[in-house]
Amino acid sequence: MADIYVRGGWVLTLDSNRRIIKNGAVAISDGFIVDVGKKEELDPSYKSFSDIVIEAERDIVMPGLVNTHVHLAQGLIRHCADYLPLIKWLKNRVWPLQGSYKPEEALASAKLVVAEMLKTGTTAFLETGLVGRYGPDNIIEFLHDSGIRAAVARHVMDLKGYALEENILHEGLVEPGDISFKDTLRLYHKYNGLSNRIWIWFGPRTPGAVSLELYRKISEKARELNTGITMHLAEVREDVEYTMKSFGKKPVEFANWLGLTGRNVVLVHVVWVEDDEIKLLSQTGTTVSHNPSSNMKLASGAARTSEMLKSGVNVALGTDGGPSNNTYDLMREMKHAALLQPVRTLNAEAIRAEQVVEMATINGARALMIDDMVGSIEKGKRADVIILDYWVPHLHPLVNPVSHLAYAASGSDVKHSIIDGKLVMYDRKLLTIDEEKIIEEAEKAAWEVYNRTGICKEPDTIWPIL
């Protein structure tokens, strides 16, 4: 593995002191960060002795982004479900499309999503739930070969509902509980810990699709295996109605009752919660994956992330999927996270740029339980590092790079990406996967799905297309 030396520019360490090093440098060897400091101090030891020297005088150097909520299977359908609230969006569009997938189409979707994430600065992510019809083995093996770091949840379910609506899940996505649970274990024993970059998690479906018995079984087994759990919770008001009417419990109380809170749990969205639930999230060390773009597009609501952060909840960021966000660019998500809280609270100080950048990096690493490994630029950590070009009009003048990251940058500003000490993108060219081939395969696969289902064959636009 080549030694890499990045010299010059602004280095945002995200270490415990949150140091920002102007005219800094980062030395990487054998996959690890071996030194961080001022360029003039590190140059004598590394400039002439490294295999690869990256000149970063006009760049921002920072930890790779961690996307804590991704639907790999939704890359092919990113424009297929506009202008719908969540349950109609699922029932009428998303589930019928995904429920028709063949394994090769799901793989084409996953490849497209990973290419986009690598191009826009994501170096690690959490997949929320693969199912059997997607061919999870092929997807996981592709993830490994791409060089990305990933926690991959496998969906577990034994019912067909969503909240109080029974039997609405598309038949193509229905799986018996014993099969989905056992297949998660199979994947865990086959792939967990692969190259210290791939982990297998449990992905129980949203309340209404999983029995209490199976939820408890998932909780117990995840703790036994020391692996993670991720689940959508309190995304829309119907979720609150379901847990209150069915069990007399608020959503977070419901999750805690079943053992679905804790350091190894990432709850997604968590929009409709009250103060006592936020306190419970903090007390249990549970992570919340905040997905502002998805919540806004589907009119789900605005999560109370300012209050969560003040209460000590680990809040991370996610893009969600193609049809709920239309992009997997976590840089863009930072801006939405930064802007949503002031308008929700009518308080311009509701959230700081620093907090948003933390959500996209070290908090995300903590969510995946790998913050001892990545999430910051520190000596001894694995080298997941991205380099952004700030010599562009929208990032000038540059006085405060943190503000620019939260409010002005986009994924297209990322020009180099390093994962586990290996360059996976250099000068905006992907090095581990064939971007052009992936786009061609995705285009073909998407039309196979559209033609089979009759959904998304025509653009949903009120403008004439001639």
Res. 15 pLDDT band, cuts 50 70 90: very high
Same domain, 256 and 282: yes
- Domain boundary (348, 367, 386) is at 367
Query: What is the model's pLDDT at position 327?
Result: 98
Whole-Å CA distances, 127 to 143, 305, 306, 426, 436:
11, 22, 25, 25, 24
Give the CATH number, domain containing residue 38: 2.30.40.10
Picking from 202, 192, 204, the residue whose alpha carbon sits closest to that of residue 140 is: 192
Same domain, 55 and 69: no
Same domain, 276 and 352: yes
Query: What is the model's pLDDT at position 278?
Result: 99
Query: Which range is least confidently modeled, 80-84, 139-143, 216-220?
Result: 80-84
Total domain count, the chain: 2
Same domain, 142 and 225: yes
> Computed over its alpha carbons, how large is the radius of gyration of the chain?
21
Residue partners of 453: CB distance under 8 A and separation at least 6: 96, 97, 100
Q: Tell me whether residue 321 is in a domain.
A: yes
Same domain, 348 and 423: no
Q: Tell me whether residue 42 is in a domain.
A: yes
Q: Compute the average pLDDT of residues 366-379.
A: 99
pLDDT in tens, 152-170: 999 999 999 999 889 999 9
- Domain boundary (323, 346, 367) is at 367
Same domain, 175 and 155: yes
Under 8 Å between Cβ of 204 and 214: yes
Same domain, 244 and 384: no
Same domain, 236 and 319: yes
Q: Which domain holds residue 186?
A: 65-367
Query: What is the model's pLDDT at position 1?
Result: 79
Q: Tell me whether residue 442 is in a domain.
A: no
Percent of residues, the chain, with pLDDT higher than 70: 100
pLDDT in tens, 290-320: 999 999 999 999 999 999 999 999 999 999 9
Same domain, 89 and 51: no
Q: Tell me whether residue 23 is in a domain.
A: yes
pLDDT in tens, 84-100: 999 999 999 999 999 99
Give the CATH number, domain containing residue 302: 3.20.20.140
- Domain boundary (367, 387, 420) is at 367
Q: Compute the average pLDDT of residues 329-349.
A: 98
Res. 132 pLDDT band, cuts 50 70 90: very high
Q: Tell me whether residue 271 is in a domain.
A: yes
For residue 213, pLDDT beyond 90: yes
Q: Tell me whether residue 438 is in a domain.
A: no
Same domain, 17 and 93: no
Q: Compute the average pLDDT of residues 115-144.
A: 99
Same domain, 360 and 398: no
Query: What is the model's pLDDT at position 393?
Result: 98
Picking from 153, 157, 219, the residue whose alpha carbon sits closest to that of residue 191 is: 153
Same domain, 396 and 260: no
Sheet of strand 287-290: strand arrangement: 65-70, 122-130, 149-156, 198-204, 229-233, 265-269, 287-290, 314-317
Query: What is the model's pLDDT at position 406?
Result: 99
Q: Tell me whether residue 372 is in a domain.
A: no
For residue 324, pLDDT beyond 90: yes
Q: Compute the average pLDDT of residues 107-111.
A: 99
Report the distance separating Cα 152 and Cα 138, nearest Å.
Answer: 12
